């Protein structure tokens, strides 16, 4: 039987999309850098439907690209040009959100539930979800699990991995594994749930997650923007405790955000580096420091991604988003060396400083040569070429820079164990 007909028999005609004017938002990534036309976009409404779709695709030998909110920044959620016929498996209709368990402090969310919906449900129950990111209204629980998203509260609560208590997922042959109700302590065999977190849709398709919630903060907190000489000074001003968020931006990004967003000069003077802190109490700062305290100062940091995308669009180009981390003691040296690695392009650097995680956004590059230069620099500084966004297809070829041949052999063996026919997200994560 025809593939499209079989898929429609499972999910209904309305949920198999093939018209390019309808599929466009599923087939181009958030940055506009990656695009390909798939065979179809399929939108199952239940785990059972998703499993049946996987079985049909597997029977036809058709590759599947899992997609949540399509806010990923490494080209992992859209089809790719050189992998033949692919079905985009959208999880956006998997929106069941269970009751918050206020005793266990947990909630179960379908893969398609946006992060902000979990945040709201947690808040209504007097709790919080520990992950927050500017894409909160579109990014899904499944996508954030698959990428092990970090975000703005990572210094306080860790990455998504630290929030995942259990998962339900569909294997490449269509079997469903349900570990949602796993007890808090469970050493019975290898931690397969942990392995799936951060697997970028290459091992299985996540259909639901059991998430840990955290108690509310006891005070409103203080948001302080601080002008700094350099990265080293910014690092030295992060208090040893009571830190809810610690973010960094360089002057070029701050001035772009001001221009695009029409925002006022936030401090008395301009500075090479800006540190944004959210802390339990006002931080202890030197007397002569240029700083301001106001929750609205978050806008200067949160608007970076949108402002850079807007600027790229205005210049008729796309942004190369490099999300890297280096050990804290190498952060200053790394940023100093970046200028040479990114010449002659415009570069905007910002990120989650307490984790050594910088987002290096390059504008104007027409191929990925500059990616190689920056990522090689990261390797030379003992860092990681993918701190929180994943490898996707954007960085697969660069993985050997920071993972050994032995590690890559193991990654390939794990992939083959989960997906022997290479049908789940081909081209993602592993170098070709």
Q: Under 8 Å CB-to-CB from 187, ≥6 apart: which residues? A: none
- Which range in 148-156, 241-249, 282-290, 397-405 contacts ligand FAD by CB under 6 A? 148-156
Which of residues 146, 180, 235, 349 is near ligand FAD by CB under 6 A?
146
111 binding partner (options ligand FAD, ligand MLT, none; Cβ < 5 to 8 Å by kind): ligand FAD
Which of residues 359, 381, 395, 415 is near ligand MLT by CB under 6 A?
359
- The candidate with the shortest Cα–Cα distance to 105, out of 17, 211, 217, 235, is 211
Please state, in angstroms and rounded to a whole number, the distance separating the CA atoms of residues 432 and 426. Answer: 9
Contact (Cβ atoms closer than 8 angstroms) between residue 310 and residue 348:
no
321 binding partner (options ligand MLT, ligand FAD, none; Cβ < 5 to 8 Å by kind): ligand MLT
Q: CB of residue 425 vs ligand MLT: minimum separation in angstroms?
A: 20
36 binds ligand FAD (CB under 6 A): no
Residues facing residue 430 across a β-bridge: none
Site string for ligand FAD, 232-271 (x = CB under 6 A): ----------------------------------------
Our CB check for ligand FAD shows the closer of 86 and 233 to be 86
Site string for ligand MLT, 401-430 (x = CB under 6 A): ------------------------------
Q: Under 8 Å CB-to-CB from 397, ≥6 apart: which residues? A: 431, 432
Residue written as token pair 């360089």:
250
Our CB check for ligand FAD shows the closer of 30 and 274 to be 30
Our CB check for ligand MLT shows the closer of 73 and 211 to be 73
Please state, in angstroms and rounded to a whole number, the distance separating the CA atoms of residues 91 and 114. Answer: 11
Q: Under 8 Å CB-to-CB from 34, ≥6 apart: which residues? A: 28, 75, 78, 80, 393, 394
321 binds ligand MLT (CB under 6 A): yes
117 binds ligand MLT (CB under 6 A): no
Our CB check for ligand FAD shows the closer of 93 and 258 to be 93
* Torsion sign over Cα 181, 184, 189, 195: positive
Our CB check for ligand MLT shows the closer of 203 and 363 to be 363
67 binds ligand FAD (CB under 6 A): yes
278 binds ligand MLT (CB under 6 A): no
If one counts every other C-beta atom within 10 angstroms of the C-beta of residue 119, the result is: 19
Site string for ligand FAD, 118-137 (x = CB under 6 A): ---------------xxx--
Please state, in angstroms and rounded to a whole number, the distance separating the CA atoms of residues 303 and 297. Answer: 11
Q: Under 8 Å CB-to-CB from 328, ≥6 apart: which residues? A: 235, 356
Contact (Cβ atoms closer than 8 angstroms) between residue 263 and residue 242:
no
Contact (Cβ atoms closer than 8 angstroms) between residue 98 and residue 196:
no
Interface ranges with ligand MLT (CB under 6 A): 73, 134, 304-305, 321, 323, 351, 359
């Amino acid at each position: 039987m025809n593939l499209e007909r079989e898929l429609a028999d499972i999910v209904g005609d309305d949920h198999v999309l093939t018209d390019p004017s309808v599929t466009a938002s599923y087939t181009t990534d958030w940055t506009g850098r990656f695009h390909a036309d798939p065979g179809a976009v399929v939108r199952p409404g239940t785990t059972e439907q998703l499993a049946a779709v996987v079985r049909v695709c597997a029977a036809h030998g058709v590759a599947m690209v899992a997609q949540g909110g399509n806010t990923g920044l490494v080209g992992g959620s859209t089809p790719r040009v050189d992998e033949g016929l692919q079905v985009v498996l959208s999880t956006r209709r998997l929106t069941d959100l269970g009751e918050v368990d206020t005793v266990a402090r947990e909630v179960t969310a379908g893969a398609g539930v946006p992060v902000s919906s979990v945040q709201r449900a947690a808040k209504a129950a007097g709790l919080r979800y520990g992950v927050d990111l500017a894409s909160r209204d579109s990014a899904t629980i499944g996508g954030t699990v698959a990428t092990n998203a970090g975000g703005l509260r990572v210094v306080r609560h860790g990455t998504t991995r630290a929030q995942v208590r259990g998962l339900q997922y569909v294997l490449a042959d269509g079997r469903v594994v349900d570990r949602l109700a796993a007890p808090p302590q469970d050493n019975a065999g290898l931690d397969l749930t942990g392995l799936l977190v951060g697997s970028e849709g290459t091992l299985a398709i996540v259909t639901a997650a059991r998430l840990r919630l955290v108690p509310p903060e006891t005070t409103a907190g203080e948001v302080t923007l601080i002008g700094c000489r350099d990265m080293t000074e910014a690092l030295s001003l992060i208090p040893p405790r009571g830190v809810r968020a610690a973010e960094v931006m360089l002057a070029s990004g701050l001035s772009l955000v001001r221009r695009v967003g029409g925002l006022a000069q936030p401090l008395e003077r301009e500075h090479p580096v800006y540190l944004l802190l959210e802390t339990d109490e006002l931080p202890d700062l030197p007397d002569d420091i240029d700083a301001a305290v106001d929750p609205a100062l978050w806008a200067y940091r949160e608007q970076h991604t949108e402002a850079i995308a807007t600027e790229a669009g205005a210049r008729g180009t796309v942004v190369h988003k490099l999300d890297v981390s280096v050990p804290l003691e190498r952060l200053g040296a790394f940023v100093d060396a970046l200028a040479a690695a990114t010449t002659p392009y415009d570069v905007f650097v910002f990120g989650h400083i307490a984790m050594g995680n910088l987002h290096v956004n390059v504008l104007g590059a027409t191929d990925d040569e500059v990616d190689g230069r920056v990522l090689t620099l990261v390797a030379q500084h003992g860092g990681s070429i993918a701190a929180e966004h994943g490898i996707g297809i954007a960085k697969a070829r660069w993985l050997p820079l920071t993972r050994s041949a032995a590690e890559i052999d193991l990654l390939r063996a794990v992939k083959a164990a989960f997906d022997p026919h290479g049908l789940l997200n081909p081209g993602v994560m592993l170098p070709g």
